[in-house]
Amino acid sequence: MSESTPASNPEQPKTLRTSGSVAMDDYLEQILLLIEDNDENYARPVDVSRKLGISQASVTKMLKRLTTEDLVNHEKYGGTTLTEKGHTIAHAIVERHKTLTQFLRLFNINEQTIYKDVEGIEHHVSKATLNVITSLVAELEDNPVLLERIKKRI
Ligand code: MN
């Protein structure tokens, strides 16, 4: 299914799973991770810039766009917080990242490759496919014999 999937599709309420833009999703993901790391409950633009490896000027520009899209709020003290809509999307991306990472870690793939692959897949994987992967992770973690058999085939 492509981006043209109607928003009315009950299986995939698209608006809650993605902002519709890979770049914006990457920002929302990093902002949530920074907020979770920060006792003050906001993300500093300078940290967003560092985490994404993007210039501060570009970060400023994107934060404005995210504000316009009602995904983040700029607070007076210079911190960035997520709106409810932004948080829902960010949370969904972080969950997809965790599940996909858990899955690939079962197979001795190096961490750098896992990270790179997950950063791509997390933007496009459907809810149906993610459910399959979640079930596979649970089964394979409970069944090391099967896991070893699969690994030998790779
Ligand atoms: Mn990610």
pLDDT confidence band for 2 (50 / 70 / 90): very low
Q: What is the extent of the structural domain holding 112? A: 93-153
Model-level pTM? 0.85
Do residue 39 and residue 100 come from a single domain? no
Same domain, 66 and 103: no
97 Cα to the center of ligand 1, angstroms: 5
d(CA 5, ligand 1 centre) in Å: 23
My answer on whether 114 and 50 are in the same domain is no
Distance between Cα 94 and ligand 1 center (Å): 6
Residue 5 lies in a domain: no
Question: CA-CA distances (angstroms) from residue 55 to 26, 41, 51, 81, 100?
Answer: 15, 23, 10, 20, 28
Ion ligand 1 neighbours (CB, 5 A) are 97, 122
Ligand 1 centroid – CA 107 distance (Å): 19
Residue 1 pLDDT exceeds 60: no
Domain boundary among 88, 107, 124: 88
pLDDT band at 25 (very low <50, low <70, confident <90, very high): very high
Expressed in angstroms and rounded, the spacing between residue 51 Cα and the centre of ligand 1 is 11
Question: Looking at the predicted structure, is the pLDDT value of residue 120 above 90?
Answer: yes
Q: What is the 3-state secondary structure (H, E, C) of 78-142?
A: CCEEECHHHHHHHHHHHHHHHHHHHHHHCCCCCHHHHHHHHHHHCCCCCHHHHHHHHHHHHHHHH
Indicate the residue type of 148.
E
Say yes or no: 66 and 80 in one domain.
Answer: yes
Model confidence at 40, pLDDT cuts 50, 70, 90, reads confident
The single-letter code of the amino acid at 29 is: E
Whether 14 has a pLDDT exceeding 80, the answer reads no
| Boundary-marking domain end, from 46, 73, 88 | 88
The residue-averaged pLDDT of 120-141 equals 95
Same domain, 100 and 84: no
pLDDT at 4: 46
**Gap from CA of 128 to ligand 1 centroid (Å):** 19
Q: What's the Cα-to-Cα distance from 59 to each of 74, 78, 80, 137, rounded to whole Å?
A: 13, 13, 11, 36
Q: How confident is the model at residue 5 (pLDDT cuts 50, 70, 90)?
A: very low
Given 88, 104, 139, the domain boundary residue is 88
pLDDT at position 8: 47
Number of domains in the chain: 2
Q: Which CATH number does the domain housing residue 138 bear?
A: 1.10.60.10
Q: Are residues 126 and 139 in the same domain?
A: yes
Q: Lowest mean pLDDT: which of 36-40, 81-85, 102-106, 116-120?
A: 36-40
pLDDT band at 74 (very low <50, low <70, confident <90, very high): confident
On whether both 19 and 63 belong to a single domain, the answer is yes
**38 and 83 belong to one structural domain:** yes
Same domain, 79 and 98: no
**Structural domain includes residue 103:** yes
